[in-house]
Chains A and B, each alone.
Chain A
Amino acid sequence: MAEKTIRLKRTSLYASGSSPVNMIQAVFYNEDMLIYDLEDSVPASEKDAARFLVYNMVKNHRPKDKYVCIRVNGIYSEYLEEDLQAAVRANPDAIRIPKVEYAREVKNISERIGAIEKKIGLEEGKIELICNIESYMGVINAMEIAHSDPRVVAMAVSAEDLTASLKAQRTKKGLEVFYARNAVLMACRAAGIDALDIVFSDINDKEGLMEDTALAKNLGFDGKTCIHPRQIDTVNSYFTPSTKEIKYALRVLAAVEEGKKNHKGAVTLDGGMIDKPMEFRALTTLAQAEAAGIHVKGMVM
């Protein structure tokens, strides 16, 4: 797992495929993940035009320093096949699947992506998948979805549709989705993939966003989806590791390095075993620090 590339996902921002201006502009904000959207933000009458625009944007003007996703239309929608055909050919880092409820849905999409990759000569399995969990069934099946396919690198909780499916009232505090957030988070941890938190909907409430992001970070999430570019810098700042966290990550990696030198199979630190997920987490911590402009090289451990 240590060989896996670190791709930060502290912040995700959607840019509507039906808005060329939004797509151009989204490149310049500080989000780690830019999601070109073919689903909710695109009216039915513009689905084909949006697909064409997103294909061209990702193919020809893809931002170099971002994790680039395309959110396709729903699994059972009439648009999905054409979306997948265009999205795979555009070759993004990942395809984000909305409203995932069962592992078999993910497997099916992964196979369809594989077939297209093969047909056009792309490396098979390279395009990753992020599953949006947006219903009670998705939460119940989070564990099997997280483990459903090697392409799955993250799951994201989406609170709006989720609360509707729960018959719950959406509140700013978010107690109604607290369980769902944790259930998805634990499934991600079990599968060794990233967990992405819900959006904070009130774009004018910066304090509320700070409180909600602090909670997400403390619960263990790797990032949060932003509903508006104004939220990005605040969310990024919460996913910037503390000096203590950076120093611990450096110690973990130093211990791993030392173990490799001495050809040790098992490495320990402070009396505890260092496993692969811990090593990966340490690498992620350092990548988050670097992204925030913290120079970790030469830092005293």
Chain B
Amino acid sequence: MKNAVGREIPEKIGRYVVKPYTGAYTESPSGEPVHTLRTAGKHVSGDCKMLPSIEEAVKAAGLKDGMTISFHHSFREGDEIVGQVLTAIRALGIRHLRFAPSAVVNIKNPSIVDFVKDGTIDRIEASGIRGELGDAVLEGLMEEPVILRTHGSRPRAIEAGELMIDVAFIGAAAADEYGNATGQIGPNACGSLGYSFVDVSNAAKVIVITDYLVDYPCNPASISQQYVDYVVKVDRIGDPDKIGKGAARMTKNPRDLMIAERAADVMAASRLFKDNFSFQTGAGAISIACTNYLAERMEARGVKASFALGGITAAIVDMYKKGLVRVLECSQCFDAVAARAIVEEPGIVEIDNAVYSNPFSKGSMLDKLNFGVLAALEVDTDFNVNILTGSSGEMMGGLGGGPDVAAGSDISIVCLPVVRGRTPSVTKRVFTCCTPGETVAAVVTEAGIALNPAHKYYAELKEDLEKANMKLVTIQYLQELAESLTGVPAPIETTDRVVCVVEYRDGTVIDVIREIKK
């Protein structure tokens, strides 16, 4: 069958029953009470939640074959919790698990591929897969398709009963012996633990793992003791250099700077650019540069924002410190500066990912966004966006919050170069559709700005940009230009076998990724 973005999707993929994508705002929650596996607990004075090892905690939690385990991704590339836990589980002979971390899986040592090959894991549900695992999945590593969800879709799926977590493993930069835990202090401080809140409050069992045990009570505490079953102290939760990496430097790539400045100009030209506006700019090279250009325009025009949302960077903290933004609502800290600032600054606050982005809650913060700046690998002439697969079909990234931000913000701005190396980035049809074109207001490239005539704010944005003498082009112009420079690449050949399901934020299937033909 074909879904609403014209993608051919099977009705069933293994055990997965497909609900086709019908439109960005058409689906509604079922109306049933939210699902949870959380149970009441009983502790009396003198009880101890500390266990001597991860293995002991896994045993105590009652993890069995076929269950679901979860992790957060706040330690980014420095995470060593996932590897330690999976190694312990393998040693216990537990198999056929569903592995459901909150974001992209890219751990290398040990590799997830090994845990799939030996049967410890046989299902993966994440926001993306890449590297060795991504390559292996595309080559048909797994029997069951990998389910890819956006940041907003994950808490929705948990509450809808689609992703019931049996054991949540929560890496903590600091914790006390009774389970109060945080990412904000300790030698491996990572800042916000916003992605783990929904796991903690809905999993059957919760295990906190830390290398920095503090006296009771741990303060601040992002994770409350009331949800935590066991606490384990390990030697090391991760690589401090990668967890606490410094602020990303402003890119010097002139092309990226040009795109970033244009995106900031689009925001500044919009009628929504006025006191108390809100924005999310993200953490890529173009995003950080765009944040800095936006700050310059705010200072020049004397405009102050009410809040910035999502993953926070040093560039946004800098805006806060200059008084340009009143509150930073932080679901994730992208660098050490942001991680430190969340402790020191009263207006920089840790938020639950569900509050940030769940489309089927009673209000997510991104619905209050005026501007969302998004990166992309490809955009097509219907403004559909690909943020997952690269020019050879390889897995390049995760869905992250991109599709959520596009749907929630008034003006969503997709930034990308028209060509990358020798392949066009603006195409007639993206290889993988992740964000539907109807939620994209503008595509900003070095070769011009294209507005989407099908977007709800097209008319006023066009009027605003024309008033500011900004040169607009059509998306077709960008696509033809890109292909005139690079030629049209040969299509990527795939088999019929679906290896990944790309869910939209409402749980419908917006696209699938098929096995790459060898």
The residues of A with any CB-CB pair to B shorter than 8 Å are: 20-21, 24-25, 27-29, 61, 228-230, 293
Contacts and interface: CB of A to CB of B under 8 A. Distances in A.
B254 A228 contact: yes
Nearest to A294: B469
A25 B422 contact: no
Contact of A61 (B257, B418, B447, B484): B484
26 contacts: A20-B422, A21-B421, A24-B419, A24-B485, A24-B486, A25-B254, A25-B255, A25-B446, A27-B447, A28-B255, A28-B418, A28-B446, A28-B447, A29-B254, A29-B258, A29-B446, A61-B484, A61-B485, A228-B254, A229-B254, A229-B255, A229-B258, A230-B252, A230-B254, A230-B257, A293-B469
B305 to A, nearest CB: 25
Nearest to A24: B485
A28 B421 CA distance: 15
A285 to B, nearest CB: 20
The 7 A-B pairs of least Cβ separation, nearest first, read A229-B254, A28-B446, A230-B254, A24-B485, A28-B447, A293-B469, A25-B255
Interface centre among A21, A25, A229 (most CB of B within 10 A): A25
Contacts of A229: 254-255, 258
Candidate in B254, B258, B446 with the most chain A CB atoms within 10 angstroms: B254
Interface in B478-513: 484-486
Nearest to B484: A61
Contacts of B254: 25, 29, 228-230
Given A229-B254, A230-B252, 10 more contacts: A20-B422, A24-B486, A25-B255, A28-B255, A28-B258, A28-B418, A28-B446, A228-B254, A230-B254, A293-B469
Nearest to A13: B254
A32 B489 CA distance: 31
A12 to B, nearest CB: 15
A102 B422 CA distance: 42
A228 B257 CA distance: 12
Nearest to B445: A28
Contacts of A21: 421
Contacts of A228: 254
Contacts of A20: 422
A191 B422 CA distance: 44
Nearest to A204: B252
A228 B252 CA distance: 10
B486 to A, nearest CB: 8
A29 B422 CA distance: 18
Interface of B: 252, 254-255, 257-258, 418-419, 421-422, 446-447, 469, 484-486
B480 to A, nearest CB: 12
A25 B484 CA distance: 13
B114 to A, nearest CB: 37
A199 to B, nearest CB: 15
Contacts of A28: 255, 258, 418, 446-447
A220 B484 CA distance: 39
Nearest to B421: A21
Contacts of A24: 419, 485-486
A230 B256 CA distance: 11
Nearest to A25: B255
Nearest to B254: A229
Nearest to B447: A28
A293 B470 CA distance: 10
Contacts of A29: 254, 258, 446
B294 to A, nearest CB: 17
Residue of A24, A27, A28 with most chain B CB atoms under a 10 A cut-off: A28
Contacts of A27: 447
Contacts of B252: 230
A60 to B, nearest CB: 9
B432 to A, nearest CB: 25
Contacts of A25: 254-255, 446
A28 B254 CA distance: 10
Contacts of B419: 24
B363 to A, nearest CB: 41
A29 B261 CA distance: 12
A186 B345 CA distance: 60
A61 B254 CA distance: 21
A27 B484 CA distance: 13
Nearest to B422: A20
A299 to B, nearest CB: 16
Nearest to B261: A233
A24 B255 CA distance: 11
**Which one of B255, B257, B419 has the highest number of Cβ atoms from chain A below 10 Å of its Cβ?**
B255
A247 B485 CA distance: 41
A29 B252 CA distance: 15
A61 B469 CA distance: 27
A20 B257 CA distance: 20
A229 B446 CA distance: 12
A28 B256 CA distance: 12
A293 B446 CA distance: 18
A59 to B, nearest CB: 13
Contacts of B258: 28-29, 229
A28 B419 CA distance: 11
A189 B477 CA distance: 41
Contacts of B422: 20
A171 B312 CA distance: 41
Nearest to B252: A230
A229 B259 CA distance: 13
Contacts of B255: 25, 28, 229
Nearest to A232: B254
Contacts of B446: 25, 28-29
Nearest to B417: A25
A298 to B, nearest CB: 16
B489 to A, nearest CB: 15
B485 to A, nearest CB: 5
A61 B480 CA distance: 12
B484 to A, nearest CB: 7
A20 B446 CA distance: 17
A25 B485 CA distance: 10
A293 B419 CA distance: 27
A10 B255 CA distance: 20
B473 to A, nearest CB: 12
A18 to B, nearest CB: 15
A6 to B, nearest CB: 21
Nearest to A229: B254
Contacts of A61: 484-485
A27 B486 CA distance: 14
A27 B258 CA distance: 13
